[in-house]
Amino acid sequence: MNPSTPWWSSSVVYQVYPRSFADSDGDGYGDVRGIIDHLDHIAGLGVDVVWLSPIFASPQDDNGYDIADYQAIDPMFGTLADVDELTEAVHARGMKLVM
């Protein structure tokens, strides 16, 4: 890769829509813990970047893209501690996380 080429231009990106990806607690909605549980599978696909759709606090009028607080995680998806764990787990597998 040319040094002036952006890192993302040759990356394999896997987008995750958390609300429907994987439900770890049986409440009918996907969550951060569900994503963590499936990271080995995602990494096994040769993914370089996990692109996470919105998980921030939101009134959910447009599927979470109407973010109300960029410093709070919507409780349906988990906690900030869960996101910290997700970030560490993604990096431990040699991938990047884009939010």
This prediction has a pTM of 0.90
Query: Does residue 5 lie in a domain region?
Result: no
Helix (H/G/I), strand (E/B), else coil: 13: strand
H/E stretch holding 19 reads helix 18-21
Query: Does residue 1 lie in a domain region?
Result: no
Query: Does residue 32 lie in a domain region?
Result: yes
Domain containing 17 — which CATH number?
Answer: 3.30.750.90
Q: What is the pLDDT of residues 28-87, one digit of tens each?
A: 999 999 999 999 999 999 999 999 999 999 888 888 888 889 999 999 999 999 999 999
- Residue 18 · residue 35 · CB < 8 Å: yes
Number of domains in the chain: 1
Return the number of other C-beta atoms located less than 10 Å from residue 3's C-beta: 4
Query: Does residue 4 lie in a domain region?
Result: no
Q: How much is the pLDDT for 1? A: 62
Over the range 6-18, which residues count as b (16 or more CB within 10 Å of their CB) and which as e?
Answer: eeeeeeeebebeb
Residue 25 is part of which domain span?
11-98
CA distance 54 to 65: 6
